[in-house]
Amino acid sequence: MVLLSVREVSIWRVSTSRALFHYFQRCPRLERLTLINVSMIDSTETTPISLESLKYLLYRPISTLRAINSLPTLILPKLKTLLIGSILLSGSADSFQHQVFRFDRSVLTELSIGTYTRVGAESMEAGLVELLKRADGIRSLSLDEEPKFKSSLAADLIPELEAFRGRPDNVLVSARADRSGKYSPGSRQPNGD
Give this prediction's pTM. 0.80
With H, G, I as helix, E, B as strand and everything else as coil, classify residue 171. helix
CA 155 vs CA 42, 63, 162, 173: distances in Å: 39, 30, 12, 7
CA 74 vs CA 96, 98, 102: distances in Å: 14, 10, 6
Q: How far is CA 82 from the centre of its chain?
A: 4
Report the C-alpha gap between 41 and 55 in whole angstroms: 25
Report the C-alpha gap between 56 and 47 in whole angstroms: 22
Predicted confidence pLDDT, tens digits, the chain (193 residues): 567 899 999 999 988 888 888 889 989 999 999 999 887 776 667 788 999 999 999 988 776 555 556 678 899 999 999 998 877 777 655 566 667 889 999 999 999 988 755 555 666 777 888 888 888 789 998 887 655 666 566 667 888 888 888 877 666 544 443 333 333 434 444 444 4
Kindly list the structural domains of the chain, giving each domain's residue range(s) and its CATH number in brackets, ordered by start. Answer: 8-173 (3.80.10)
- The pLDDT of residue 191: 41
- The pLDDT of residue 32: 98
- The pLDDT of residue 116: 57
Torsion angle, CA of 31/68/93/148, rounded to 10 degrees?
Answer: 80
Q: Which among 53, 39, 18 is positioned nearest to 87, based on CA atoms?
A: 39
